[in-house]
Structure 1
Amino acid sequence: MLYQSEMFVYRRDEILYNENKVVESWNDIIENFRSFQEIDNLEPSRVLQYYRSFFHWYYWPEEGLFAPSKFLGYKNSTIGSYDSSGTGGVTQKVLAKYFNKLDRTSEEFKKLFTELSQISKNNFGKDLNDKVLNGTGGIYVPKQ
């Protein structure tokens, strides 16, 4: 979608990129992983409301944490401040510098998918979006 003003013509995702600063380092990403773990401490939250819409999930093995792209990729994300604005495309691009997508047929994917599914169902009463397994989504792990 394009927007036009007197001086500029720009795409909507560029606006969101500038308004919602993307992560710039591993420290930003780790902070967001830890922040996402507060999901059940602030109910009802927008994160929990939109939980089923997330289909790009990231895993941080050092602490066994999962977080979705749209939460993980914007700097200083918190459960309280998350408003679902922004686009997954913007966060996908920035997170690609740090993570690789797992092949759906790999044992690691199957293990992590099962673990994430159990966490989602047991802790939040939510099923994962079908796109994690059968669509454009996936599970991502840090690059070596």
Structure 2
Amino acid sequence: MDELVVNLEEVIENVKQFNMDLEENTDIVTQLTQFKHWYYIPSLDAFGPSKYIGYKAMNTSRYARGQNKTGVDTEKVLKQWFIKLSLESERSSILLDKLGELLELHDKKVRSNAFVHILKN
């Protein structure tokens, strides 16, 4: 079983890796429409999905199309550093648009029921 992240630095490294995997057009691109909970790191100006960034030392091959991984577990651990934005908030709308632009580069769309989480403080 994959280990969950234990500190914010691991999350940040995973977000960086996720975005490198996107740039390299790895298999993760085919799964972009499946992700519901997206996490945004302002200092990186980058997003990462819960089920990918919530496990230690993640990359596309370790992600293995999400086998034996659950967003329920990652949501629990990630909420110590992040808050979920209300869908009605202006910030949520802006970030969902930004995420949509990122996914469009790969001919994908954001799920209609997606949420964005941002760092606390």
Same fold, TM-score > 0.5, yes or no? yes
1:62 to 43, 46, 53: 43
For the pair 1:90 / 2:73, whether they are aligned, the reply is yes
* Count of residues in Structure 1 that have an aligned counterpart in Structure 2: 118
Match of 2:116 in 1: 139
For the pair 1:111 / 2:89, whether they are aligned, the reply is no
Match of 1:9 in 2: none
Measured against aligned partners, the alpha-carbon deviations of 1:50-109 in whole angstroms (never above 9, x if no partner) come to 211101000000110000000010010012322112111010100011100001111111
For the pair 1:33 / 2:15, whether they are aligned, the reply is yes
What is the alpha-carbon distance in structure 2 between the residues aligned to residue 126 and residue 97 of structure 1? 30
Q: Unaligned 5+ residue runs, structure 2?
A: none
Match of 1:76 in 2: 57
Q: Unaligned 5+ residue runs, structure 1?
A: 1-18, 133-137
What is the alpha-carbon distance in structure 2 between the residues aligned to residue 48 and residue 25 of structure 1? 26
Q: Which has the larger radius of gyration?
A: 1
Identical-pair percentage: 29
**Runs of 4+ with >2 A deviation:** none
RMSD over equivalenced CA pairs, Å: 1.0
Measured against aligned partners, the alpha-carbon deviations of 1:18-70 in whole angstroms (never above 9, x if no partner) come to x1100000110010010001223143x1x222211101000000110000000
2:110 to 116, 128, 131: 128
User: Relative CO higher for 1 or 2, CA cutoff 8 Å, sep ≥ 6?
Assistant: 2
Q: 1:77 is paired with a residue of what secondary structure? A: coil
What is the letter of the counterpart of residue 111 of structure 1? I
TM-score (ref. length: structure 2): 0.93
Match of 1:10 in 2: none
TM-score (ref. length: structure 1): 0.78
Measured against aligned partners, the alpha-carbon deviations of 1:95-140 in whole angstroms (never above 9, x if no partner) come to 011100001111111110110011111x2110111111xxxxx100
Q: Is the 8 A contact 1:42 1:79 kept in 2?
A: no
